[in-house]
A and B are shown apart, each in its own frame.
Chain A
Amino acid sequence: MKRIPRLGLPCLFMTVVVMLVSPLNAQTPISVYSAWHCTADFCTWATAEDPTTFDNQNRWMIDRNMDGTYHPSVNNVTFSFVQPVKLMDNTNDSGDINGIPTGMNTSAVTYFENRGVRVQFSIGGQTYTSDWDTALATNPTALGTNAANAAKSFNVGMEIDYENNKNPNLTGLQAFVTAYRAVLPYDATGANQAARLTIDLGAGDTYLPTIANYASTNWLKTTNPVLDYASAMVAQQSLSVSKLENYWSQHVKGYNGVPPVAPAKLTGSLWLTGKSANCNNFSSSDQNAAANFVKTIAPAGAGTTVGMLGFTFWAAGCQGTSTACTFPPTTCQNGMGTAAATFNIPVPMPALRQQ
């Protein structure tokens, strides 16, 4: 039998202590580092930007060092918003082609995907709540099928942003999801970009609780998952990071009968405007302050691995006034770009944790 050297026992003891303690302090790297994108026209994407302008506006997102090395600042961009009724109806009008806004074109998608950044289209948003209601009450299957086919055609994922806070049509929403998944089954590997289907929930328990309950119960389970993950949306702009963390915890712990969601099925959202610290000063930013929480939050009833998937930022593009755009001169490479480097954000996005 081999003798343990004199220093061996203390070393062994320390090793055991470290092994016992480390799970508590374990940090899971951030996998999803995403931004919604409103482009320059009130989130309608009704106009296609010319490639030079688009590149000038968005270069920081795909080239955080702004030197042609093309290390992206994010690994996912969500173009916001597609109008649900138009998508259901495959509308062709001055601002849409087959129900997809003209600005959400191949050129814009390719711009990001060629640099390894995934793209999603977001269906809905608050302003289109009534249109979601109409589509879900009349032909949710067509909406789901058309969404899936558009996703395939553009090689993008889709996001459900249905914001009927108190009276959502869950039967219709289930039919939408079923139709989407009939065309594009859940893909745990993430390789099939079009199969990525996510949903927006409220920041915490005060917004969209009915949808959160249904999604958590039926779609965001770690066994037989239907949706890839949920994004807890932004709340008031002035909220403290600790309040936000409390909100995100509510999803992980469950609330008011809403079952817990695995941290591996959740991203937390933060504000991104052209002059915020998240945009231009990583060291003093909310994302820096919240990062440890996001990487270490433990499961509390669902899932087995620690850490949320990451962050989703509201929003790249123009916020309606020239001072708040993430376009030059207020681009975000020193906040988002520095964060992407600091967090070592993987590009392309890897397969997501399932537990």
Chain B
Amino acid sequence: MKHDTRYAQINGVGRRERRPFGFLLWCVAFLLAGLASGQEPSTTKQIHSASGDWVAMTVDERQISVFELCTAVATLPPPQAQAFPLHPALAAQWYGPLIALAEEAKREHLGQQFLGAEISPVDQANALSAELIRKIAHESEPTEAQIEQYYLGHRNEFQVTKARHIVISYATALASRSTRTLTEAQAKADAISAALKRGADFASVAARESDDQYTKAKGGDLGDVPHNQMEPAIDHSIWSLAPGETSVPFRGRFGYEIVRVESRRILPLNESRDNIVGTIKFLRTSRQRQEIISRTRIALKRTYIESPLPCEVKTVALTN
């Protein structure tokens, strides 16, 4: 495709990653066009789509009219619906990839039922995009060998720690129903910590003293905790302690915390399988989705890099 220098690409280098000389030529054209654009009155540069409407952007061969872009933007939540016309590059960065995926779906003859339907372009783009993503995800299903290979290469990701905790809340802690001051909470946590050091049973103390309503009845049992699944302070404590160790009191989101690590293990493959399948499918789908977007030339008309889209004030949003 010959690139119209009245447009500026907004999705990175795209397919030019694989065509470095083409990219260099495009850069030169971009710079020359940039110099030229400052000399032309913008009104003379408006071009029209087949329907006579001004073209705002292109996605490869497809011309997106100002009307279509404005209508699509109007379906967005108010911050975007109001801001995107003022900053058309943001609008193009959202709508361009969506159209790129929809066009790919059309090329693959997916979602035919949505093509003739009387639905808005943005609904159609979302519907087609979803068809494409589902197809890619379906085709990304890993084999048993690939699942096992991933498991062996990422065993640490499937490490879990069985832990318990005791929370001593204070009035200003997150979700607190306590009237304790910070000092009172700290004193109580210190006293509990001392009792635990003297041999008190952690689960019994948790059941009696903890302010965590989720775990109190279970003796503070947090279950098998993977990495990065708890609030940062507890997560750090859980993964710093060895099995059998109990932390000193520390401040977390919900109050003073005391954590005890009971055991640590790597989940066997059968318990990790679903997660691995999901992870592999996601990685492959994301990569392919990004490849489609990257090899599509998404370009915004240069006029709209510097000036707002002439969207009507009236909105047709049906969404928040």
Contact = CB atoms under 8 A, between A and B. Distances in A.
Given A106-B253, A149-B229, A233 B281 contact: no
B320 interface: yes
A125 B77 contact: yes
B123 interface: yes
A132 B286 CA distance: 12
Nearest to A233: B320
Contacts of A77: none
The bracket for how many chain A residues form the interface is 35 or more
B130 A192 contact: no
Given A167-B111, A167-B131, A126 B77 contact: yes
Interface in A248-294: 269, 273
Interface in B270-287: 274-275, 277-279, 281-282, 285-286
Interface stretch (B32-40, B172-180, B300-308): B172-180
Top 10 A-B residue pairs of the complex, sorted by shortest distance between their CB atoms: A139-B278, A167-B127, A137-B137, A320-B83, A138-B282, A155-B175, A320-B82, A138-B281, A166-B127, A207-B318
A194 B212 CA distance: 13
A275 to B, nearest CB: 13
A206 B75 CA distance: 13
Contacts of B140: 138
Give the most central of B128, B213, B277, B285: most A CB within 10 Å: B285
A40 to B, nearest CB: 9
Q: Which DSSP category, helix, strand, loop or mixed, fits chain B's interface?
A: helix
A166 B127 CA distance: 6
Contacts of B186: none
B133 A163 contact: no
B274 A141 contact: yes
A237 interface: yes
A89 B278 CA distance: 10
A315 B78 contact: yes
A233 B319 contact: yes
Nearest to A41: B79
A130 B79 contact: no
A134 B285 contact: yes
A234 B76 CA distance: 12
B129 interface: yes
A318 interface: yes
A133 B315 contact: no
A134 B286 contact: yes
Contacts of B24: none
Interface in A202-227: 202-203, 206-207
Contacts of A237: 315, 317
A43 B80 contact: yes
A193 B212 CA distance: 12
A179 to B, nearest CB: 10
A57 B43 CA distance: 41
Interface in A56-91: 80, 85, 88-90
Contacts, number: 183
A137 B285 contact: yes
A38 interface: yes
A42 B91 CA distance: 13
A106 B319 contact: no
A236 B315 contact: yes
Contact of A142 (B81, B124, B232, B278): B278
A200 interface: yes
Contacts of A317: 79
B117 interface: yes
A318 to B, nearest CB: 7
Contact of A130 (B129, B137, B231, B319): B129
A106 B174 contact: yes
Contact of A42 (B79, B176, B277): B79
Interface in B121-152: 123-124, 126-131, 133-134, 136-138, 140
A246 interface: no
Contacts of B315: 236-237
A141 to B, nearest CB: 6
B282 A134 contact: yes
Interface stretch (A3-11, A47-55, A109-117, A339-347): A109-117
A129 B77 CA distance: 12
Contact of B176 (A114, A134, A135, A269): A114
Given A88-B282, A167-B131, A324-B82, A130 B97 contact: yes
Given A138-B281, A149-B229, A163-B319, A130 B78 contact: no
A315 B77 contact: yes
A127 interface: yes
A188 B175 CA distance: 19
Contact of A126 (B76, B128, B214): B76
B213 A191 contact: yes
B8 interface: no
B98 interface: yes
A149 B278 CA distance: 18
Interface string A96-134: 011000000010011001100000000001110110011
Given A126-B319, A236-B316, A320-B81, 9 more contacts: A42-B79, A85-B282, A137-B134, A154-B231, A167-B111, A193-B175, A235-B317, A237-B317, A321-B83
